[in-house]
Amino acid sequence: MLAQLTLVLGGAASGKSAFAERLCCSADRRRLYIATAEAQDPEMASKIETHQARRGIDWACIEAPLELATALTKINPGQVVLVDCATMWLANQMAESGVVGENMTELLTALHACASPVIMVSNELGQGVVPENALARRFRQAHGEMNQKLAAQADLVVTVIAGLPLVLKGTLPGGAL
């Protein structure tokens, strides 16, 4: 049985999204993908296409680059929801308004109230070098705080390194690997 909220962390190209997809597929539920990225350049468009091809046609999809909390409030029971990813949602929030406090509170409330289990993917940015500019440092700080809040609320937290999951909190459901 899936946790109500699962947080899957990892670095870039760590395998976190593929692991989160497998976790979703281990549940006998309809699968819903909530996308937070937008194809604003050829590289991102290619990455989105790769993710779509890997998932196949059995997934419903909602695009919510900014209104993630609103999307989560419209979820029906009987689904499993994969949000990919919190990092892009935060970047979109900061680009749109420069602040995230109220939006983060709304997101946490929506995750808590969601009618179906949610698997949230997020990058781990805190292990790199200190960014040289103030905007990047502010984003890294906000991102670390977001991940801490998500992890505190999550029933299951998994980090993925080189495609291998490591459980930090909770227990993986049987057959999820």
Spell out the SS3 assignment of 96-128: HHCCCHHHHHHHHHHHHHCCCCEEEEEECCCCC
- Copy the structure tokens of residue 66: 């900014």
Q: Are 118 and 29 in contact (CB under 8 A)?
A: no
Residue tagged active-site, from 22, 30, 47, 51 = 51
Cβ burial, residue 29 (10 Å; 0-12/13-18/19+): middle
143 counts as catalytic:
no
- Catalytic sites, residue numbers: 51
